[in-house]
Each structure stands twice: as C-alpha cells, then as structure tokens.
Structure 1
Amino acid sequence: MTSPDPAIRPQLAVSGAIFREGKVLLVRRARSPGKGFYSLPGGRVEFGESLHTALHREVDEETGLRIEILGLAGWREVLPTPAGGGHYLIMSFAARWASLEPVLNDEHDDFKWLHPEEIGDLKVTGGLQEVIEAARRLL
C-alpha cells in the first residue's frame, strides 16, 4: 500500500490573535490564497515542530514580533472548493505582544492594530471575528 500524496492530505497550520493594549494585529495577504483579505499571522506547522514553536516561528517570519502565547483560542477547518485550494486545520492561539514593531515579509502588504469592534466591514478571512473574540476572553 502506498502513502497518499502529501499534497492531498490536510495541512496543519497555526495562527495568532496577538493583542497589544486592547488591539489585535491584523495582516493583509499579498498573494493567494486570500489575497487582499486581512487575517491573523500564521502558517503551516513543519514536521516535528510543536504548535507553539511553529507559531513563534511564523510570527517572527511574517512580522518580526516577539509574543507570549496564552492559550488555544479555537480552531478552524478550511476545505478545498471546486475552484481549488487546500485542506487546512488551523489552530488559533491567543497571544500578547512582547516586543519589537511589525516588519512584514512579502506574504503581506499591510497591517493594522485594531480594537476588535473596529474591524467592522474590513475584508477578513472566514471565522476571524469568532477567533478574535475567543482569544480576547483568554487575556
């Protein structure tokens, strides 16, 4: 029996709702999937990497920030659509900003520190508000 192609398996990912003075950090994706949508920093977990290690690495790569992880705020499953896309299980954590200022890599083209109530009509990824609210409860 052969193993399925890794490209057709669900991918494990992490994201961080990073709070600073009551505001959460949102980053805008510069390319697909989700180009133009604001979301939380994060990405795929590498083989052999813990969820916390992956989140620290992804936040560092994407924003340059140092964070303190507070706990799991929730999860979201993204399924492929007829138009394509991958299958992801995203574990979302609540975190506090610890140091440094955002310096974005090429995966993002904008960032905002916003109070959750200020997100309003901003173009955001699915389920974002629920994750942010769950994360805020852990602060």
Structure 2
Amino acid sequence: MTAQPRIGALAVVIHEGQVLLAQRGKDPGRGLWGFPGGHVEWGETVRDAALRELHEETAIEARAQRYLTHFDLIHRDDAGQAVVHYLLVGVLCRYQAGAPQAGDDAMDARWFPIDHVREGTVPLIDRVSELMEIALSAS
C-alpha cells in the first residue's frame, strides 16, 4: 500500500478577545498548545470534523463559519523520508456554548488572551500564531 497524506481539520475559535487552544497529549507536539483538531473521517466534511474534534477535545460547542487556509505538516526521519504527512485545514468557528474541559487526546484546554499568544508566552505548535492572525483578519 502506498503512503498517502491524511487530512486534518483544525477548529479556530476566537471569542471576546481570546483564542481557544488545546494542549497536545500525543506526538507530534506533545505538551505544546494548538488548535483543537484531528483526522477527517471517511464521509465526513472538514467542517464537521473540526466541530467534532473541537467538542471531543474541549467540550466547546461552536458553529463552523468558513475555511481559513490550509498547509502541509510533514515530519521527516533522519534519512529525509516523510514519516508524518497531513494536509491541515483551518476552519473558523463561532463560539456557541461551554467551558473548556480537556478530553480525548488533549492534556488541557483553555482560553488564552490573544496578546499572550502574540507575545510568545504560550508554547505553541508551528503556525498557530499565523493561523490565529488569519482568523482575526477574517472575523
């Protein structure tokens, strides 16, 4: 069987000057903060996957609004061979209800002031700040 990239959905939720992030419980990025998200299941839209993963990882309810952007996440071994390859799709979601509670493979989930993320005081997964800024300009 040929290895193929997987599709991942990221739920980007910004509410009242804060951004919702989940702390990863698995590699890649264990212990770092990023947008809740995960694999798109067979027959599931990226928007639906983003909302499902958002609820599973944070207990937050939201409504998907629009696609923001996409980017490749590729990790290579020492020989330069790809060992992880995802096409990640950011979905802007509008907060509806709930308080963050870590679930599924998240170690923690919480709201962070946007300024803290911009100042670099939160240990982030690659491209989180970039995706946050895209979401802010789209809201």
TM (norm. structure 1) is 0.88
Q: Which runs of 5+ in 2 are unaligned?
A: none
Structure having the higher strand fraction is 2
Report the counterpart of residue 134 of structure 1 in structure 2: 134
Q: 1:76-115 CA deviation, whole Å, 9 max, x = no partner?
A: 2111311574100000011121011122114112223123
Percent of residue pairs bearing the same amino acid type: 26
1:34-45, aligned counterparts within 5 Å?
34-45=29-40
Paired residue type of 2:64:
I
Paired residue type of 1:96:
R
* C-alpha RMSD over aligned residues: 1.5
| Structure 2 residue 121 is matched with structure 1 residue 121 | yes
| Structure 2 residue 100 is matched with structure 1 residue 105 | no
Report the counterpart of residue 64 of structure 1 in structure 2: 59
Q: 1:26-80 CA deviation, whole Å, 9 max, x = no partner?
A: 1111221210110000000011111111111111111111102221121121113
CA contact (8 A) 1:15 1:90 kept: yes
Report the counterpart of residue 12 of structure 1 in structure 2: 7
Cα distance between partner residues in 1 of 2:113 and 2:104: 25
Structure 1 residues 111 and 63, CA gap change in structure 2 (3 angstroms): closer
1:78 to 73, 77, 84: 73
Aligned length: 134
Q: Which runs of 5+ in 1 are unaligned?
A: none
Cα distance between partner residues in 1 of 2:112 and 2:123: 14
